[in-house]
Amino acid sequence: MCSMAETGEQLHVAFFPFMTPGHSIPMLDLVRLFVARGVKTTVFTTPLNAPDISKYLNIRASTNNNDLATSVYITPFPSIKAGLPEGVESQDRTTSPEMSLKFFLAMELLKHPLEQFLKDTKPNCLIADNFFPYATDVAKMFDIPRVVFQSTGCFSMCVMMALSQHQPQNSVASDNDFFIIPNLPHEIKLTKSQLQPDHKGSDDEMNASLSRLFGGVGRALFTSYGIIFNSFTRLESEYVDYFNNVVRKPSRVWHLGPVSLCNRQVEGKSIRGKSSSINENICLKWLNDRKPNSVIYVSFGSLTCFSASQLREIAIALECFGRDFIWVLRGGENVEEWLPKGFEERVKSKGLIIRGWAPQVLILDHEVIGGFVTHCGWNSILESISAGVPMVTWPVYAEQFYNEKLVADVLKVGVKVGSMHWSDTSSGTFLEHEKIGDALKEVMDGEGMLEMRERAKKLKEMAYEAVEEGGSSYCQLSSLIDQLSSSKNGI
């Protein structure tokens, strides 16, 4: 059979991002990488998500125009069927665990619209987020490969698989006792309290639904055509080998990151994701007035929700620390309820508070940022590594406690703040301002600070090398495109 290159037919890849910033933004970065290689792309999404996607991809917010080299296919969001209010078309807009469950139900209801999308657009491949396990079966209906876009790193996947296989957590008596995960390249210690609760067999509707979802996610990893990781080989090389040799055989795995490095210009960094709550020129002016490595950046992503008392402790810690800082607050947080009286007036010469969406890559890439307090979401970790910035790690839920181990124990570019309890609500580990302040001092002024910054700088160099022509991520993207182009169906 002739290849697509031989027949002159353009490869057409469809993308199905999960609708929350932490998942959709890196997938859209991936779209841009495919477009830069001359691949035709179509993104499957819903009405309220389409404008931001179109803006970032620099295309007109068209409706299902399959003639464009890059287009957005819009399908109605099943709000009513899922029991959601109008306007909640992204997980970061949910306000309770119950609403979040309904949002996942809405994602399941997109199965039939996905079938119609593939029927209408006739792509050669579907790249779908790992949270859409049914995408593998839908793609098979149209005899095209489904590639999983994995929103976590390879390290955390290896930890999850080792925990599932060996279950060392069952060997300890207390939730707070440490256990070692066997057979991994490094000695990785966790406690039961840092693991996501097991809800198998639960009678609770929400927990049972999530258990089914994650079970489907795991199966899809082994039944799909292959897996894309937003990572690069040298960052977690021993775990790349472990995953390829132990977890998934035969391996069709591509490490194409850091995908955020497709943004090299100020405009691309500032429009990435949602519209920023601060003008990029104002943000840059504030940064330009500071000295190198003097500013601590604090952001916990789009989903983390701390209690008012915990936010107050963070505010006190930043003020007592006395260094310049940027603090990003979620748009829905009512600061009047918890912010210490007179705080903003007292820190106005040193602190920049951003309410809502922040241009994180733009900020982290600036030379004045000396440390990043993060919830250990994978995107934030990669963006910090790509900027050469050491981290204060404050994991909360999902795979974030695993990511912390990679950052602090394996790569040694992070300081643990002391979070010990997994929680998808605001009831995780409560940390007082003194403990937060100790971590800030260690990452900015500690005895090992210079060595940590040097290691972070080397990782940054590796990240850039990976995505440049001839680098590992660049070559693996070439290999993936070649494989998908090798026959009509890419199989």
**Helix (H, G, I), strand (E, B), or coil: what is residue 264?**
coil
Q: What SS3 state is found at 151?
A: coil
* CA dist list (Å): 129 to 16, 67, 104, 152, 486: 6, 24, 13, 11, 23
Q: List the catalytic residue out of 12, 23, 366, 375.
A: 23
- Degrees to nearest 5, angle at CA 217 with 214 and 221: 145
Residue 179 has which token pair? 């256990």
Tell me whether residue 23 is one of the annotated catalytic residues: yes
- φ, ψ at 453 (rounded to 5°): -65, -35
Residue 228 structure tokens = 């894309």
Contact in structure between 362 and 284 (CB atoms under 8 Å): yes
Instruction: Characterize the bridge pairing of strands 178-180 and 146-150.
Output: unpaired
Q: How many alpha carbons fall within 13 Å on the CB side of residue 147?
A: 28
- Please choose, from the candidates 344, 341, 340, the residue with its C-alpha nearest in 3D space to the C-alpha of residue 325: 344
Residues paired with 354 in a beta bridge: 328
> Hunting for tokens 């258990």 — which residue is that?
211
Catalytic annotation on 366? no
What is the DSSP track for 343-380? HHHHHTTTEEEEES---HHHHHTSTTEEEEEE---HHH
- The answer to whether 79 and 85 have CB atoms below 8 angstroms apart is yes
Point out which residues pair with 41 in neighbouring strands. Answer: 13, 70
Q: Who contacts 339 (Cβ-Cβ below 8 Å, separation ≥6)?
A: 311, 312, 315
- Give the C-alpha separation, 317 to 444, whole Å: 14
CB atoms within 10 A of CB 458: 14
Q: Please state the φ and ψ torsions of residue 75, each to the nearest 5 degrees.
A: -120, 145
Q: Which ranges in 37-96 belong to alpha helices (H)? A: 50-56, 79-82
Q: Return the closest-CA partner of residue 369 out of 326, 328, 319, 412.
A: 326
Helices (H), 275-432: 280-288, 308-321, 343-347, 360-364, 378-387, 400-404
Strand pairing class (324-329; 351-355)? parallel
Active-site residue (options: 129, 255, 324, 365): 129
What is the spatial distance between Cα 87 and Cα 46, in angstroms, rounded to a whole number?
11
Active-site amino acid positions: 23, 129
